[in-house]
Structure 1
Amino acid sequence: MSRPSALPVSETYPRLASALEQENVILSAPPGAGKSTWLPLQLLKLPWLSGKKILMLQPRRVAVRAIAGYLAQQLGESVGQTVGYRIRGEARVSQATRLEILTEGLLTRMLQQDPELSGTGLVIFDEFHERSLHADFSLALCLEVQAALREDLRLLVMSATLEQSALQTLLPRAQNVQSMGRSYPLQIHYQPAPSRADWLQHMAGVILQALDENDGSALAFLPGAGEIRRLADMLSGRLPSDCHLYCLFGELGKEAQMAAVAPLQQGQRKLVLATNIAETSLTIDGINMVIDSGLEKVARFDLNQGISHLRSVRISQASATQRAGRAGRLGPGVCYRLWPQAEQSRLAEQSTPQILLSDMAPMILEAAAWGTEIPALALLDQPTDAQIEQGRALLQSLQALDNQGHITAHGRQLCNLGCHPRLAHMLIRAQEMGSDKLRLACMLAALTESKDPLRSSSTAAIEERLGYLSRNPDDAVLRLALVWFKRLNGTGKLDPARADLSHTGALLALAFPDRVAKSRGQGRYLMARGSGASLSENDSLAKEPYLVIANLLNTGAGGDARITLAAAIKEAQLISQFSEQMVTETVCQWQPAQKAMQARAQRRLGKLIFSSEPVPVESGEALQQRWLELIRQQRLNWLPMSDNAWQFIHRARLAATCLSDLGCWSESALLEDIQNWLLPYLDNCTSFRALQQLDFVALLKNRLDWAQQQTLNELFPGQIQVPSGSRCKLDYRDDGSVVLAVRMQELYGWTETPTLGRGQIEIQLELLSPAQRPLQKTADLKGFWAGSYKAIQKEMKGRYPKHFWPDDPANAQATTKTKKKM
Structure 2
Amino acid sequence: MSPPAGSSPPTAASAGGPDLPVEHVLVDVWQALDATGRAVLEAEPGAGKTTRVPLYLLEQDPDLRIVLLEPRRVAARAAAGRLASQLGEEVGRTVGLTTRDDRRGSAATRLEVVTDGVVLRRLQRDPSLSWVDVLIFDEFHERSLEADLSLAFALDAGAALRPDLRVLVMSATIEGPRVARLLGDVPLITTAGRAFPVDVEHRPAPVGFRGLAPAVSDAVGALLPDGDVLVFVPGAAEIRAVTRHLADVDLPQRAVILPLHGSLSGADQDAALRSAPAGHRKVVVATDVAESSLTIDGIRGVVDAGLSREPRFDPATGMTGLVTVPASRASAAQRAGRAGRLAPGRCIRLWPEREHAARDAHPRPAILTDDLTGAALEVAAWGATIGELALLDPPPDAAWNRAASTLVELGAVDAGRVTTQGRELNRLPTHPRLGHLLLRGREEGIAQLACEIAALLADRDLFVTDRDHPSADLAARVRVLRGGRPPVGVRVRRGAVGRARKDVARLARHLEALDAGGSRAARSVPDPDPELAGRLVAQAWPDRIASRRAGQRGRFLLAGGRGATLLDGDVLAAADHLAVATVDRGDREARIHLAAAIDLDDLREVAADRIHVEDEVVWRDGDVVAERRERLGALVLSAQPIDGDTAATRYDALLQGIREEGFDLLGWNDAAVDLRARVAFLRHHRGEEWPAWDDGSLLDRLDQIVGPFLLRARRRADLAQVSMETVLRAQLTHAQLVELDHLAPTHLAVPSGSRVRLDYGAGEAPVLAVRVQEMFGRTTTPTVLDGSVPVLLHLLSPARRPVQVTDDLAGFWERAYPQVRAELRGRYPKHAWPDDPRHAQPLRGTRRR
Q: What's the TM-score bracket when you normalise by the shorter of the two chains? A: 0.7 to 0.9
1:693–1:6 distance in 2 versus 1, CA, 3 Å: farther
Residue 235 to residue 569, structure 1, CA distance change in 2 (3 Å): same
Could you say what secondary structure the match of 1:256 adopts? helix
Aligned residue runs from structure 1 range 341-740, under 5 A: 341-374=353-386, 379-384=391-396, 386-388=398-400, 390-402=402-414, 404-434=415-445, 437-456=446-465, 459-471=471-483, 475-489=498-512, 498-501=526-529, 503-519=532-548, 520=550, 522-535=553-566, 539-541=570-572, 544-552=575-583, 556=586, 558-559=588-589, 561-566=591-596, 568-592=597-621, 595-616=622-643, 618-619=645-646, 626=653, 630-634=657-661, 648=676, 685-694=713-722, 731=760, 738-740=764-766
8 Å contact from structure 1 (residues 804, 818) kept in 2: no
1:65-98 per-residue CA deviation (whole Å, 9 max, x = no partner) reads 1122223333444333443332223233444444
Aligned counterparts of 1:672 and 1:792: Cα–Cα separation in 2: 50
Alpha-carbon separation, structure 2, partners of 1:785 and 1:104: 98
CA 243–779 in structure 1, closer or farther in 2 if over 3 Å, else same: farther
Residue in 2 aligned with 1:295?
A: 307
The question of 1:30 aligning with 2:59 is answered no
User: Which residue does the alignment assign to 1:331?
Assistant: 343
Whole-angstrom CA distance in 1 between matches of 2:390 and 2:730: 53
User: What do residues 20-62 of structure 1 show as CA deviations (whole Å, max 9, x unaligned)?
Assistant: 5437545544333334333344455678xx8554444332111
Structure 1 7/578 Cα, relative in aligned 2: closer, same or farther at 3 Å?
same
| Mapped contact 2:779–2:810 kept (Cα < 8 A) | no
- 1:286 equivalent in alignment to 2:313: no
Aligned pair in 2 of structure 1 residues 608, 2: CA closer, same or farther (>3 Å)? farther
Q: Distance in 2 between matches of 1:273 and 1:769?
A: 86
On the 8 A contact 1:653/1:664 being kept in 2, the answer is: no
In the alignment, the residues of structure 2 paired with residue 448 and residue 527 of structure 1 have an alpha-carbon distance, to the nearest angstrom, of: 19
Q: How far is the alpha carbon of 1:301 from its aligned partner?
A: 3.8
CA drift at 1:252: 0.4
Give the distance between the partners of 1:783 and 1:105, measured in 2 at CA.
Answer: 94
Q: 1:425 deviation in Å?
A: 1.9
The corresponding residue for 2:8 is: none
| Partner in structure 2 of residue 129 of structure 1 | 141
The TM-score normalised by the length of structure 1 is: 0.79
- Contact 1:718–1:730 (Cα < 8 Å) also in 2: no
Q: CA offset at residue 249 of structure 1?
A: 0.9
How has the CA–CA distance of structure 1 residues 661 and 303 changed in structure 2, closer, same or farther, with 3 Å as cutoff? farther
CA distance in structure 2 between the partners assigned to 1:646 and 1:44 by the alignment: 96
Question: In terms of mean alpha carbon deviation, does 782-791 or 342-351 score higher?
Answer: 782-791
Whole-Å Cα distance in 1 between the matches of residues 845 and 703 of structure 2?
54
Match among 235, 243, 263 for residue 224 of structure 1: 235
Q: What is the distance in 2 between the residues matched to 1:399 and 1:743?
A: 76
Q: Which amino acid aligns with 2:423?
A: R
Q: Give the Cα–Cα distance (whole angstroms) in 2 for the partners of residues 160 and 323 of structure 1.
A: 12
The answer on whether the counterparts of 2:39 and 2:180 sit within 8 Å (CA) in structure 1 is no
- 1:200 and 1:499 map into 2 onto residues whose CA distance is 44
Q: Using the alignment, how far apart are the partners of 2:129 and 2:681 within structure 1? A: 69
What is the rounded CA distance, in whole Å, between the counterparts of 2:528 and 2:455 in structure 1? 17
Aligned AA for 2:449?
Answer: L
In the aligned structure 2, how far is the partner of 1:137 from the partner of 1:781?
Answer: 88
Residue 646 to residue 250, structure 1, CA distance change in 2 (3 Å): farther
1:445 counterpart letter in structure 2: A
% same residue: 36
How far apart are the structure 2 equivalents of 1:273 and 1:148?
46
Q: Which residue does the alignment assign to 1:5?
A: 18
User: Structure 2 counterpart of 1:188, which letter?
Assistant: V
Q: Is the partner of 2:482 in helix, strand or coil?
A: helix
Distance in 1 (CA, whole Å) between partners of 2:599 and 2:673 is 55
**Alignment coverage as a number of residue pairs:** 801
Do the aligned residues in 2 keep the contact of 1:803 with 1:818 (CA within 8 Å)? no
Please give the secondary structure, in 1, of the residue aligned with 2:103: strand
> CA 1:365/1:799 → structure 2, altered by over 3 Å: closer, same or farther?
farther
**SS of structure 1 residue aligned to 2:320:** strand
SS in structure 2 of the partner of residue 105 of structure 1? helix
1:766/1:775 contact within 8 Å kept: no
User: Structure 1 702/102 Cα, relative in aligned 2: closer, same or farther at 3 Å?
Assistant: farther
Unaligned runs of 5+ in 2: 1-13, 485-493
Q: Which amino acid aligns with 1:590?
A: W
CA distance in 2, matches of 1:630, 1:153: 69
Distance in 1 (alpha carbons) for counterparts of 2:690 and 2:183: 55
Report the counterpart of residue 64 of structure 1 in structure 2: 76
2-side partners of 1:654 and 1:167: how far apart?
A: 72
Q: Does 1:92 align with 2:118?
A: no
Deviations 1:371-429 (A, max 9, x none): 34556655555555554454445434432234x45432112211211212222223223
Cα 1:589–1:231 shift into 2, 3 Å:
same
Measured after TM superposition, the shift of residue 329 of structure 1 is 3.2
Q: Does the 8 Å contact 2:577/2:598 carry over to 1?
A: yes
Question: Cα offset for 1:691?
Answer: 3.4
Structure 1 distance, partners of 2:822, 2:241, is 87
Inter-CA distance 706–406: structure 2 relative to 1 (3 Å threshold): farther
Q: Compute the displacement of 1:336 (Å).
A: 1.0
Rounded to whole Å, the distance in 1 between the matches of 2:328 and 2:320 is 21
2:452 alignment partner AA: M
AA in 2 matched with 1:232: T
Equivalent position of 2:4 in the other structure: none
The letter of the residue matching 1:233 is R
Distance in structure 2 (CA, Å) of the matches to 1:647 and 1:36: 87
Three-state SS of the structure 1 residue aligned to 2:292 is coil
Instruction: Using structure 2 for the length normalisation, give the TM-score.
Output: 0.77
Residue 235, structure 1, aligned to residue 255, structure 2? no
Following superposition, the deviation at residue 247 of structure 1 comes to 1.0
Q: CA deviation at 1:158?
A: 4.1
Contact kept in structure 2, 1:356 and 1:384, CA below 8 Å: yes
CA distance 1:680–1:803, shift in 2 (3 Å): same
> Which of 255, 263, 273 is 2:267 aligned to?
255
